[in-house]
Amino acid sequence: MITGQVNPALEATIPMQVIGAQGQSLEVTVVIDTGYNGGLSLPMAIVDALSLPQAASREVTLGDASRKVFAFYNAEVLWDGQRHKVRVLCVEGDPLLGTALLRGYKLEADFVEGGSVVIEALP
């Protein structure tokens, strides 16, 4: 089980350990974005701090239907107690957790400031 809380902007958040290629890690608070079908997005400052290796650049369709080219990087995350390899989209703004990491899990959130966020594996 993964737990977090709803922030003052009424966003569901969880803490996440992101691990770089040399084993260094950072705990990052990520906003759960069910409109994002990728796994994880991070701003360049975190990508640089972890020295994440670049994977590729590719065109991405954004929520407003515009298309832009973004860089992707390789990382690992601690997800539900286990390390998982993820492709990280490098984009400025809040770190986002998308639905690719939520596959096979149930998400519950109490949408009040400080409300609980619980992510549990489906049976």
Report d(CA 43, CA 60) in Å as an integer. Answer: 16
Kind and range of the H or E run holding 101 = helix 99-102
Q: So what's the pLDDT on residue 62? A: 76
CB atoms within 10 A of CB 71: 16
Listed residue (60, 55, 50) closest to 74, CA to CA? 55
Task: Output the six-digit token pair for 35.
Answer: 């409109």
Residue ranges per domain, the chain? 2-121
Look at the block and give the residue holding tokens 């107690």.
81
What's the chain's Rg over C-alpha atoms? 14
Q: What is the mean pLDDT of the segment spanning 13-41? A: 95
What homologous superfamily does CATH list for 2-121? Acid Proteases (2.40.70.10)
Query: Any idea which of 25-29, 66-70, 116-120 has the lowest mean pLDDT?
Result: 66-70
Per the CB < 8 A criterion, the answer to whether 31 and 8 are in contact is: no
Q: So what's the pLDDT on residue 83? A: 95
- pLDDT band of residue 77 (cuts 50, 70, 90) is very high
